[in-house]
Amino acid sequence: MVDTKTKTLGEILRHSGVSRRGFLKFCTATASMMALPPGMVPAIAAALDKARRPSVIWLSFQECTGCTESLTRSHSPSLENLIFDHISLDYHHTLQVASGDAAEAAREEAMHANAGSYLVVVDGSIPLGNPGYSTTAGFSNLQILEETAAGAAAVIAVGTCAAFGGLPKADPNPTGAVSVRDIVTDKPVINVSGCPPIPVVITGVLAHYLTFGTLPELDQYGRPKAFYGTSIHDRCYRRPFYDKGLFASTFDDEGARSGWCLYKLGCKGPMTYNACATAKWNEGTSWPVESGHGCLGCSQPDFWDAGGFYNALSIPVGELSRTVSYATAAGLGLGAVAAGINHRSKVEANRRHGEVTVDDLEKTS
Amino acid sequence: MNESMDFLLWTRGTAFDVSVAIFIVGMLIRLFEIVSLGRGRDLAAPRGTEFLPGIRTILSRTLPYGGTFKRQPLTVIAGYLFHIGLLVSLLLFIPHIELFRETFGFGWPGLPNPIVDAAAVLGITGLLAALWNRLTNPVMKMLSDSEDYLVWILTFLPLLTGYLAYHRMINPYPLAMGLHILSIELLLVLFPFTKLMHTFTLFLARWYNGAMSGRRGVES
Amino acid sequence: MNALNTTPVPIEKFTAVEHRFGNTLPLLHEISHALHRLQVEGTVTTLDLNAVPFGPGDERQLVDFLGRGEVSAKLEAMGDSHIRESRYSGVWIVEHWNTSGERVAFQIEITKLPALLEAQQEDIAESLLMLQAALENARNGASV
């Protein structure tokens, strides 16, 4: 058994009988997964050859475990396995829940042994309203996050809840939920948003750290540009239909059957930045738009509050018809008042109206 | 950190409701006032009818007088370019139609985006030409006051931000879209209280002109 | 579970409509430019097709268009890999599968010979050691 704690990835793979060709193939797939150009493969090979395993602590707060499901059911298990065999997932709230105190001890040990160099992965938002809303082993989410993040090299916020507050933060935000970035301000925080995030995006970010020992370039929302640099709309294969003005108006009309643009059916693709159009879902089978349903915008902050999922993006969030009706009623009422005032002045003017004769004019002049 | 999405949600939410309410209330008060005021009673005996000449004038004044065109060709050309560009972009762009459908419960067919895009470019060009004319023509310059420039900006911003948002020239997109919506909200709020009111009052004014001339039996 | 299998459930047949979504043509132009660079400067180009937003049918159209050429190779290293020349010599279609039979990479390489087909320096060194060891064993009386 090779000691995975001290050996590099290249050594481990060669020890388990993987040829150089196999390794290069792995690097090619990794480059593809990290959305890096194929020209980077030699650099990735060189880096992975020397890569050492980082320790990872996974914390789950106010979440639904969808992100963990997404990751553990990701579609290229051997690739992910290699990554995960090679990172040391020392602690995972949900997966180790049965271990009780032993799991907490493992977390503390990992924190001490790898102080300053371990990665913290967080899924779920942190409630500030009352610490009792969400606890693990008797500690509030806030306490655990602050304590664990203190010695971390970086924090990866997986899922829209951890990245932006997500569903728990949706109006009226009963738990006072906040994102990881609202708490951790002195460490690099990488947001891997999505509800759930695309599995290869999660592993892609881990692979990037594993490969280069650095964090990827981030966008204005703290998300890796390689995956979130382009909007769904810009990479959508149905974009030509948007440009031609060909839209599906219902989910079963001719336009829907012909694969036309889903803008009218509420697709939030234009405002949403994610890699679904290329990374796809379910073993590369398809993705929401390809399966005939518009994008919900799940990788954007506050997407729950961004209006009806089936309303076109151009439609305001509020109840416009109600506003229009109330305003019309108010306008008509006030208009009637104005009309009343005008009417009175008119009556007054008419009352003063009298016939003028030449004699009258001569009198006054 | 989430500013641009928060901004977009605010422009699509609270700000939109408030500005639409101000627009509708302001518009109705002003139109009600004008209509209810009516015209003074004409005591002279009528020499013709009011209805047809009224309608005719509403339509006929859509076309420019030859004389105006000869003296101020730029005013006429820029004016038409801009108005056609604006109306096509506003009324025939499919995302806009979806907004009207949501508001009024009905919609109408739109145009393919490249055509609307071209119309928006015409509109922007027309507005820029109109501004240049206003600044360089001595008569126009003398006639213009600060409200004219305010109204120009209010009209120009939605076209410009819409063009930038459609071509995704501002990043991130939620910011571009938010700016576009905000510019329209600004327009809606100030609309009832500026000469932008001409969009609706022009029909009343033309009607009165036509009807009065018709009653007197003269051409309008 | 058996009851479930015998319960008649009508399944609507639906296949995504294949259109010419227009993603293949620009790609073919890119391949053509890359082939020109290979001819004139000897530059190797690799296109990662996982990064191209294909619609239903786009990939099949591309592969059909490229067709099959003279060379076809299968690599067995951490899952299968298929490397084949298209009908346009110098344009190779490379597909990598993992050990669970899922495709992890799909690329077009514009090169004289895809680098992965060559024996790798590290593997050569290792196999030399193995060969020498085997010969050593043979000299010591073991049957070859």
Q: What is the ipTM of this complex?
A: 0.82
* pLDDT exceeds cutoff 50 at B107: yes
User: A272, A232 in Cβ contact below 8 A?
Assistant: yes
- Mutation to test the A interface, candidates B10, B14, B17, most A Cβ within 10 Å: B17
Please indicate, yes or no, if residue B37 is contained in any of the structural domains: no
- Confidence grade of residue C21 (pLDDT, cut at 50, 70, 90): low
* pLDDT exceeds cutoff 50 at A72: yes
CB contact under 8 A, A37 and C48: yes
Please indicate, yes or no, if residue C121 is contained in any of the structural domains: yes
Q: Closest chain B residue to A264 measured between Cα atoms?
A: B98
Spatial CB neighbours of A196, under 8 Å, sequence gap ≥ 6? A66, A67, A69, A70, A71, A159
Residue B107 contacts A, CB cutoff 8 Å:
no
Residue A77 has a pLDDT of 46
Give me the residue from C54, C78, C103 closest to A237, CB to CB.
C54
Residue A68 has a pLDDT of 84
Pair (C108, C135) in one structural domain: no
Question: Å from C130 to nearest chain A CA?
Answer: 13
| Distance of alpha carbon A209 from alpha carbon A192, whole angstroms | 14
Pair (C21, C83) in one structural domain: yes
- Confidence grade of residue C29 (pLDDT, cut at 50, 70, 90): very high
User: C48, C78 in Cβ contact below 8 A?
Assistant: no
* A residues 162-201 lying closer than 8 A (beta carbon) to B: 164, 179, 181
Residue A104 has a pLDDT of 83
Q: In this predicted model, what pLDDT tens digit does every residue of A261-295 receive, in sequence order?
A: 999 999 999 999 999 998 888 777 889 999 999 99
* Residue A76 with chain C: CB contacts under 8 Å: 98, 100, 102, 104
Give me the mean pLDDT over the A178-204 stretch. Answer: 91
Give me the mean pLDDT over the A52-70 stretch. Answer: 86
Pair (C101, C128) in one structural domain: no
Pair (C57, C124) in one structural domain: no
Share of chain C above pLDDT 70, in %: 85
| Distance of alpha carbon B170 from alpha carbon B164, whole angstroms | 6
- pLDDT: which is higher, A346 or C36: C36
Q: Is the peptide bond before A37 cis (omega within 30 degrees of 0)?
A: no
- Confidence grade of residue A83 (pLDDT, cut at 50, 70, 90): low
- pLDDT: which is higher, A98 or C77: C77
Residue A114 has a pLDDT of 85
Closest CA to A276 of A242, A314, A230, A308: A230
CB count, 10 Å around CB of C91?
23
Report residue B79 as tokens: 């004016």
B164: left (phi over 0), alpha (psi -120 to 50) or beta: alpha
Share of chain B above pLDDT 90, in %: 54
* pLDDT exceeds cutoff 70 at A147: yes
Q: For chain A, what is the mean pLDDT? A: 85
Please indicate, yes or no, if residue B177 is contained in any of the structural domains: yes
Please indicate, yes or no, if residue B77 is contained in any of the structural domains: yes
Partners for C (CB, 8 Å, 3+ pairs)?
Answer: A
Residue A332 contacts B, CB cutoff 8 Å:
yes
* Residue A24 with chain C: CB contacts under 8 Å: 115-116, 120
Spatial CB neighbours of B113, under 8 Å, sequence gap ≥ 6? A242, A243, A244, A245, B93, B94, B166
Cross-strand bridge partners of residue C105: C96
Q: What are phi and psi of A69, to 5 degrees?
A: -55, -45
| Distance of alpha carbon A136 from alpha carbon A30, whole angstroms | 34
Q: A11: exposed, middle or buried (C-beta count within 10 Å: 0-12, 13-18, 19+)?
A: middle
Pair (C72, C140) in one structural domain: no
Pair (C109, C45) in one structural domain: yes
Spatial CB neighbours of B190, under 8 Å, sequence gap ≥ 6? B150, B154, B196
Give the SS3 label for residue A156. Answer: strand
Pair (C36, C105) in one structural domain: yes
Q: What is the CATH number of the domain that holds B55?
A: 1.20.950
Residue B124 has a pLDDT of 96
Please indicate, yes or no, if residue B176 is contained in any of the structural domains: yes
Q: Which domain holds residue C65?
A: 16-113
Q: Is the dihedral of CA C62, C64, C66, C72 positive or negative?
A: positive
Which 8-state DSSP code applies to residue A220? T
* pLDDT exceeds cutoff 60 at A303: yes
* pLDDT exceeds cutoff 60 at A75: no
Q: Domain total for chain C?
A: 2
Please indicate, yes or no, if residue B159 is contained in any of the structural domains: yes
Cross-strand bridge partners of residue C93: C84, C108
Q: Is the dihedral of CA B184, B187, B191, B197 positive or negative?
A: negative
Number of CB pairs, chain A paired with chain B, less than 8 A apart: 147
Which 8-state DSSP code applies to residue A53? P
* pLDDT exceeds cutoff 90 at C41: yes
* Residue B91 with chain A: CB contacts under 8 Å: none
Please indicate, yes or no, if residue B16 is contained in any of the structural domains: no
Residue C89 has a pLDDT of 94
Pair (C45, C100) in one structural domain: yes
Top-confidence range, A50-64, B122-136, B167-181? B122-136
**Antiparallel, parallel or unpaired: β A118-123 and A55-60:** parallel
Please indicate, yes or no, if residue C105 is contained in any of the structural domains: yes
DSSP per-residue string spanning A277-344: HHH-BTTTTB-TTTTT-----TTSTTGGGSS-TTS-TTS-SS-HHHHHHHHHHHHHHHHHHHHHHHHH
Q: Which domain holds residue B189?
A: 46-216
* Residue B102 with chain A: CB contacts under 8 Å: 311-312, 315, 320-321
Please indicate, yes or no, if residue B6 is contained in any of the structural domains: no
Residue B71 has a pLDDT of 83
Q: For chain B, what is the mean pLDDT? A: 90
Residue A224 has a pLDDT of 93
Please indicate, yes or no, if residue C2 is contained in any of the structural domains: no
Pair (C53, C123) in one structural domain: no
| Distance of alpha carbon A264 from alpha carbon A254, whole angstroms | 14
Give the Å distances, CA to CA, from B28 to A337, A339, B23: 11, 11, 8
Please indicate, yes or no, if residue C8 is contained in any of the structural domains: no
Q: HSE (CB half, 13 Å, CA atoms) of A264? A: 25
Q: Is the dihedral of CA C46, C48, C53, C54 positive or negative?
A: positive
Residue C69 has a pLDDT of 92
Q: In this predicted model, what pLDDT tens digit does every residue of C65-101 receive, in sequence order?
A: 999 999 999 998 888 999 999 999 999 999 998 877 7
Residue B25 has a pLDDT of 93
- pLDDT: which is higher, A316 or A364: A316
Q: In this predicted model, what pLDDT tens digit does every residue of B69-90 receive, in sequence order?
A: 888 888 889 999 999 999 999 9
Q: What is the CA radius of gyration of chain B?
A: 20
Residue C1 contacts A, CB cutoff 8 Å:
no
Q: Closest chain A residue to C109 measured between Cα atoms?
A: A38
Share of chain A above pLDDT 70, in %: 93
Cross-strand bridge partners of residue A91: A57
- pLDDT: which is higher, C144 or A246: A246
Crossing angle, helix A77-86 and helix A20-33, to 10 degrees? Answer: 100
Q: What is the CATH number of the domain that holds C80?
A: 3.30.1370.140
Q: In this predicted model, what pLDDT tens digit does every residue of B35-71 receive, in sequence order?
A: 877 777 777 788 888 888 888 888 888 888 878 888 8
* pLDDT exceeds cutoff 90 at A26: no
Residue C54 contacts A, CB cutoff 8 Å:
yes
Please indicate, yes or no, if residue B38 is contained in any of the structural domains: no
Pair (C89, C137) in one structural domain: no
User: A248, A262 in Cβ contact below 8 A?
Assistant: yes
Pair (C104, C92) in one structural domain: yes
Share of chain A above pLDDT 90, in %: 36
Give me the residue from B8, B29, B94 closest to A247, CB to CB.
B94
Q: What are phi and psi of B15, to 5 degrees?
A: -60, -40
Q: Domain total for chain B?
A: 1
Pair (C77, C129) in one structural domain: no
CB contact under 8 A, B27 and A331: yes
| Distance of alpha carbon A92 from alpha carbon A189, whole angstroms | 19
Question: Å from A147 to nearest chain C CA?
Answer: 38
Closest CA to B191 of B12, B37, B22, B29: B22
Please indicate, yes or no, if residue C1 is contained in any of the structural domains: no
Please indicate, yes or no, if residue C7 is contained in any of the structural domains: no
Give me the mean pLDDT over the A44-62 stretch. Answer: 84
Residue A242 contacts B, CB cutoff 8 Å:
yes
* pLDDT exceeds cutoff 70 at B185: yes
Residue C143 has a pLDDT of 60
Residue A29 has a pLDDT of 84
CB contact under 8 A, A38 and C46: yes
